[in-house]
Structure 1
Amino acid sequence: MLQIIQSPSKYIQGPNALQKIGCYGKLLADHYLVIADKVVMNITKDIIENSLKTESVQSHFELFNGECSKNEIHRLGDVLKANNCRGVIGVGGGKALDTAKAVAYYNKVPVLIVPTIASNDAPTSALSVIYTEKGEFEEYLMYPTNPDMVFMDTIIVAKAPVRLFVAGMGDALSTYFEGRACSMSRAKTMAGGQSTLAAMGLAKLCYETLLEEGYKAKLAVENGVSTSAVERIIEANTYLSGIGFESSGLAAAHAIHNGFTVLEECHHMYHGEKVAFGTLTQLVLENASEEELETVLDFCDRLGLPITLAQIGVKEGDGFTEKKIMEVAKASCAEGETIHNMPFKVTPERVYAAILTADALGKAWRA
């Protein structure tokens, strides 16, 4: 099998990076459909519109309805065609960005990605996670290329809710461990081949950066400021994790996240929060060393990432049953899920046991 690494054509990060979108965007199209939800639109519309106008680039702004579903993708595609747009700018969080990528793909136009939060590694990837209208995971939509450009305005990101910033670290936390598992099993990655030295190097750097800078960055963002630690975590959450997961592979952590989407009580949790618990569960599945488990438990607990079932909404008093967790385990092991990239056979029974053990470890750590 070939070894493959892939990435966006251009990654642009720094204070006020969004003010340059017209300068770079004009290289690819002269008329953009700009997609964002209401809150994000209020924050960014004037900046984007003024930057595009300065470079004589036209724009049409359309509100994103909140779910990266097939219906929403088709609706926005119709808006793009009705307004003769020749490019897409997606602004906001993971679902808005994934939707923008899908609209651009189906209409064969370039896409510029503008995250306003560093809550996951979706911005750089050549895939979208498609959900049902009810918010349940449906499928991965794979693209032949990564986004044309990614803009990370660190001033905007630093002012986003702290919980979202921390959730991004939860998502990034899984990158090294899932990549390591895929490397051991020689599994095919999202890039279409086996991982490269460069991809695993980025995944490991991502993990090391989280441990070194994560807590300091959280404290800065709590005060609405951007420091060197914040800049480094934004790069870890977005670029290092994005290239790392896509080109070194996904395994159990993300599959277990997908499993938890079948439980309605978990729908209020962010992607990265569920992935963090999925990472802990993957380490239990692997029978990781006590030292590694304690490092992950300490990192998550200090940042406020969930390490127990109760913290992701599954509480014994709310009808916690063996059946519920087995539903999660079975969904995690569905045909085609990335959990089968683990270097050993995984069954729902093993996942069920690992989830309960991860919960017990988390309870003991917090006690």
Structure 2
Amino acid sequence: MKVTVGPAQYVREAGILTAAGSYIRNFGKTAVLIGGKVSVDIVEDTLRKSVSAEGMSLLPSLWYGGESSETNINRLVDKLLSQDFDVLIGTGGGKAIDTVKAVAFKLNKPVVIIPTIAATCAAATPISILYNDEGEFIGIGRESKAPELVIVDSTMLLKAPVRFLIAGIGDTLAKWFETRATIQKANPTALNQTAFAIAAQVYKTLHEIGHEAIQSVESSTLTKAFEDVVDAIILISGSVSGYGGDDCRTAGAHAIYSGLTIFPECHQSYHGEIVAFGILAQLCLESKEEELPNLIRYYQEIGLPFTLEQMGISELTDYEWNKLGEITVTIEDMANMPFEVTPEMVIRAVKQADGIGQEFLSISL
């Protein structure tokens, strides 16, 4: 048995970026910062001062490339092979973080992650989600480093647009629904039952204080609710698959997310927003339609999409529907469902979820 639960160390504190060097110095004398353009702009100056105060140097920063694709990963590896450095620092959202974890794996370097948004659990997982250069989902990359250290500056995350936090809640809600489905195929063990309990607690936390955390961002007020939700999204949710392994993986909701990425219209929606709709479709796959009304009402409360139109998809041709169904069932996440799923079942579930969502949308207009 081999278990990789998450990062070796997770530090979350208001304003901690100014002290980041005191943690990063444990990994060497020279670091390279890689991330999104906006994230690097936010982090770099403070980080450079912090590591310099600890006798470290920060080499010129690098842009990750815009997609966590093999092209960008290999480009960065080639560039860094000729540089002498001790540790990689990744910053930004999920795609930037996943890119840096994959680069660290290929270069066999320690990696520190400084997320600038709380939109996924990428900072605390040992995998990388891979896309092609156009942003279409390709697969789950396991040639990826589990971070040695994650530094979460809650003051910095509080300043990020609230939509990122809402998307993070959507992505994290899926932990419960997908774990509840995948564990049906497993023999009970101490590990997977613990993971199942964690998933249930994360779902309960988000329902109880998710809206309060969103209000914290909207009012620019740092609260315990906000920090608890940040921890749930970034760290705790990642530990579900960490403890549960293959028994508690992503399933139908993420498979449907991946299938929907074939439509360019969806690329304006964030990962967690599309996953949130994927949860509704997964419930229809499981014949649990009775759970949709309460969940959609929660989506309405916090601002998650519950129709295709809200994600930019106004109409699909028969060809596009068939393509969606055919691609979605090839995604490895779908194999984690406790029953075989056909393209026709996917099409029917997505249409059903969208139809129920439209009914709620018409009522609220």
**TM-score bracket for the superposition, by shorter chain length:** over 0.9
* 1:38 shift after superposition: 2.1
2:350 to 347, 351, 355: 355
- Where structure 1 has 5 or more consecutive residues not aligned to the other structure, the ranges are 188-192
* 1:262 shift after superposition: 0.8
Contact 1:98-1:127 at 8 Å conserved across structures: yes
Contact 1:125-1:242 at 8 Å conserved across structures: yes
- Structure 2 Cα separation of the partners of residues 15 and 28 of structure 1: 23
Q: CA RMSD in A?
A: 1.9
2:240 to 215, 238, 244: 244
1:341 to 323, 336, 339: 336
Q: Which amino acid aligns with 1:304?
A: G
- Structure 1 Cα separation of the partners of residues 18 and 103 of structure 2: 24
1:178 paired residue number: 178
Q: Which secondary structure state, in structure 1, belongs to the residue aligned with residue 268 of structure 2? A: coil
Q: Does 1:205 align with 2:201?
A: yes
Q: Which secondary structure state, in structure 2, belongs to the residue aligned with residue 34 of structure 1? A: strand
Residue 128 and residue 167 in structure 1: after superposition, are their counterparts in 2 closer, same or farther (change >3 A)? same
* 1:123 shift after superposition: 0.9
Q: Does 1:50 align with 2:45?
A: no
Q: Which amino acid aligns with 1:125?
A: T
Deviations 1:100-126 (A, max 9, x none): 101100000000011100011111011
Pairwise mapping of residues 61-100 of structure 1 onto structure 2 (< 5 A)? 61-100=61-100
Deviations 1:255-288 (A, max 9, x none): 1100001111111111001100001111111112
* 1:4 shift after superposition: 4.3
Q: Which amino acid aligns with 2:344?
A: E
Q: Which secondary structure state, in structure 2, belongs to the residue aligned with residue 241 of structure 1? A: helix
Contact 2:117-2:157 at 8 Å conserved across structures: yes
1:25 paired residue number: 24
- Structure 2 Cα separation of the partners of residues 279 and 152 of structure 1: 28
- Structure 1 Cα separation of the partners of residues 147 and 194 of structure 2: 20
Contact 1:99-1:128 at 8 Å conserved across structures: yes
- Structure 1 Cα separation of the partners of residues 286 and 222 of structure 2: 37
Contact 1:307-1:359 at 8 Å conserved across structures: yes
* 1:144 shift after superposition: 7.0
Contact 1:116-1:156 at 8 Å conserved across structures: yes
Deviations 1:144-199 (A, max 9, x none): 75211111111011110111111011100100111111111129xxxxx9952222
Contact 1:174-1:253 at 8 Å conserved across structures: yes
* 1:295 shift after superposition: 2.5
* 1:58 shift after superposition: 1.7
1:190 paired residue number: none
Contact 1:171-1:276 at 8 Å conserved across structures: yes
Contact 1:115-1:152 at 8 Å conserved across structures: yes
Length-normalised TM-score, structure 2 = 0.93
Contact 1:213-1:233 at 8 Å conserved across structures: yes
Q: Does 1:12 align with 2:19?
A: no
Contact 2:104-2:145 at 8 Å conserved across structures: no
Contact 1:121-1:239 at 8 Å conserved across structures: yes
2:116 paired residue number: 116
- Structure 2 Cα separation of the partners of residues 166 and 157 of structure 1: 13
Residue 3 and residue 238 in structure 1: after superposition, are their counterparts in 2 closer, same or farther (change >3 A)? same
Q: Which secondary structure state, in structure 2, belongs to the residue aligned with residue 150 of structure 1? A: strand
- Where structure 2 has 5 or more consecutive residues not aligned to the other structure, the ranges are none
Length-normalised TM-score, structure 1 = 0.92
Q: Does 1:283 align with 2:279?
A: no
